[in-house]
Amino acid sequence: MPLEPFFLLIALFPLIAYLLLLAMIRLSGRVLVTTGGRDIAAISFAICGLIAIGPGELFFPKAAAGAFGPWVWVALITFYALIVTLIAMTSRPRLVVYGRTPEQILEPLLAAAREMDPDASCDKQVMQVFLPRLKVHLRAAGNKAVDSATVESFEPIINAAFWETLLGHLRHKAALTPRPTPTRGATMLLVAIALASYVAFRAINERQQVVEGFREWLWR
């Protein structure tokens, strides 16, 4: 059976926004460098609608909703945000790059590393950058077929200042790299547009069901 238009809207709207953002970054030829924690937060936003109509519906606290009304959503959103924050804070520190492959980000990574350690060197065979003064090995990892990469360290670096400094330098150096040819992201953009068109079509043709679904979902 087809999913009700309201639940379809809730499930796919965050995911469509996430896909459109990544597609535009990839098609523009620009590069986006962010931290692993922020990447986890973005992915969590993308799937929050799916979680809302899945586990959220399955484990919805009906007794609390009956007592507090719509205010129960504040508690649920806060609970979800705390879970995401815990995962982001306990995950291994790393940098995430969108718009470049691991091979394309290796040279900017070396240039960024030399801003922190002039003696930094690169081993292209294993995609690693070594900072001898800081005793840190960095690795550019990722799938060669996808224009995204991660920068990780072999050593357990918990110093946030190191990653913030590397992030700033890498953003500057990566922005100076030439635009890749050909650019990618057309398929992702088409998928996002197709999903958005389907959701909009269902929502417009079944407006009354969307309004009723929102009212029943919010006030339980």
Mean pLDDT in residue range 183-195: 90
Q: Are 11 and 50 a contacting pair, CB within 8 Å?
A: yes
- Measured CA to CA, the distance from residue 82 to residue 88 in angstroms comes to 10
Task: Please indicate, yes or no, whether residues 4 and 53 belong to a single structural domain of this protein.
Answer: yes
168 and 59 assigned to the same domain: no
For the chain, what is the domain count?
Answer: 2
Q: Are 90 and 82 in contact (CB under 8 A)?
A: no
Q: Around Cβ 84, how many Cβ atoms within 10 Å?
A: 17
Angle between helices 160-175 and 102-116 (to 10 degrees): 120
> On the CB side of 47, how many CA atoms lie within 13 Å of its CA?
11
Per mean pLDDT, which of 1-10, 64-73, 164-173, 206-215 is the most reliable?
A: 164-173
pLDDT of residue 38: 94
Residue 72: per-residue pLDDT: 86
29 and 70 assigned to the same domain: yes
Chain-centre distance for alpha carbon 148? 11
> Cis omega (within 30 of 0) on the bond before 182?
yes
pLDDT at 15 over 70: yes
> Is the domain of 119 the same as that of 130?
yes
* Residue 14 pLDDT > 60: yes
List, for residues 171-188, the tens digit of each pLDDT value. Answer: 999 999 888 877 788 889
Cα gap 65→152, rounded to integer Å: 43
Same domain, 84 and 188: yes
Do 67 and 129 fall into the same domain? no
Q: Tokens 């003696």 sit at which residue? A: 119
Q: How far apart are CA 41 and CA 94, in angstroms?
A: 14
> pLDDT category, 12, cuts 50, 70, 90?
very high
Give the model's pLDDT for residue 220: 64
pTM exceeds 0.75: yes
Q: For 147, which DSSP code?
A: S
Position 116 confidence tier, pLDDT thresholds 50, 70, 90: very high
pLDDT of residue 216: 79
Tokens of 160: 């946030």
Rounded average pLDDT over 199-214: 87
Q: Find the CATH number of the domain harbouring 120.
A: 3.30.310
Q: How far apart are CA 151 and CA 93, in angstroms?
A: 9
* 127: number of Cβ within 10 Å: 18
| pLDDT tens-digit series, residues 143-154 | 777 789 999 998
Co-location of 133 and 86 in the same domain: no
Residue 20 belongs to domain spanning = 1-91+179-220
Res. 137: pLDDT tops 60: yes
Which of 25-29, 69-73, 111-115, 182-186 holds the top average pLDDT? 111-115
119 and 190 within one domain: no
The SS3 call for residue 185 is coil
Q: How confident is the model at residue 31 (pLDDT cuts 50, 70, 90)?
A: very high
